[in-house]
Amino acid sequence: MAAPRPVRTPCPPSRLLLPLLCCALASRRTGAMALQPPSITVLRTSAESPRLGDSVTVSCEATSGLPELTLLYWLGNGSFVEKLHPDGAVREGTVLEEPRGAGVALRRDLHFSSLDACHLRTNFTCVVLSPLGVDTRELRWPPPAPGLG
């Protein structure tokens, strides 16, 4: 008796949709940004030397040639911010888009309602992700203002 043949199941159509869509969008675009991976261009805080208890906003800006398929988000110690801070003490703003050349500049803020020592010890990372690649940038807090460390 012959051994049974393994049954090959075709790749589900949903697994093919994203790569096909990416190729179609990338082929329609022209210019320098069209096939470039996304990149974080700016990471800045609203205060040069934030004090504990201050309300602080950190902005992450990135560029992407495929804005329709690009995600820009924040992580805290490798977890999504809303999971790490369900109380809303730290929250992400909405993603803002601005056309720039052949691509788009994206910005997403991270809001701290009241900065505390725990936040200074948390590794906050901005992530920009598209089918063309990923870029990350860690938030480096400036030293706390004197007398409040």
Q: pLDDT for 4-27, tens place per residue?
A: 555 444 444 444 445 545 555 554
In a domain, 9, yes or no: no
In a domain, 23, yes or no: no
The mean pLDDT value for 32-61 works out to 85
Q: Which of 110, 143, 137, 138 minimizes the C-alpha distance to 38?
A: 137
What integer pLDDT is reported at residue 11 of this predicted model? 45
When the pLDDT of each residue in the chain is averaged and rounded to a whole number, the result is 81
What integer pLDDT is reported at residue 54 of this predicted model? 92
Q: Give me the domain span that covers residue 67.
A: 33-135
The mean pLDDT value for 83-93 works out to 94
The mean pLDDT value for 91-107 works out to 92
Calpha distance 11→9 (Å, rounded): 7
The mean pLDDT value for 41-46 works out to 90
Terminal CA-to-CA distance of the chain, rounded, Å? 77
In a domain, 98, yes or no: yes
Residue 28 confidence (pLDDT) above 60: no
In a domain, 5, yes or no: no
- Reduced to 3 states (helix: H, G, I; strand: E, B; else coil), residue 18 is helix
Predicted model pTM: 0.74
In a domain, 25, yes or no: no
In a domain, 120, yes or no: yes
Residue 45 confidence (pLDDT) above 70: yes
In a domain, 11, yes or no: no
What integer pLDDT is reported at residue 49 of this predicted model? 79
- Reduced to 3 states (helix: H, G, I; strand: E, B; else coil), residue 79 is strand
Exposure b/e, 78-110, CB count within 10 A at least 16 = b: eeebeebbeeebbebeebeeeeeeebbbbbbbb
Say which CATH number the domain at 78 has: 2.60.40.10
Residue 76: which pLDDT band, with cuts at 50, 70 and 90?
very high
Tally the domains of the chain. Answer: 1
Highest mean pLDDT among 60-64, 101-105, 118-122: 60-64
What integer pLDDT is reported at residue 20 of this predicted model? 45
In a domain, 146, yes or no: no
Joined together, the tokens standing for residue 115 give 């900065």
Residue 64 confidence (pLDDT) above 70: yes
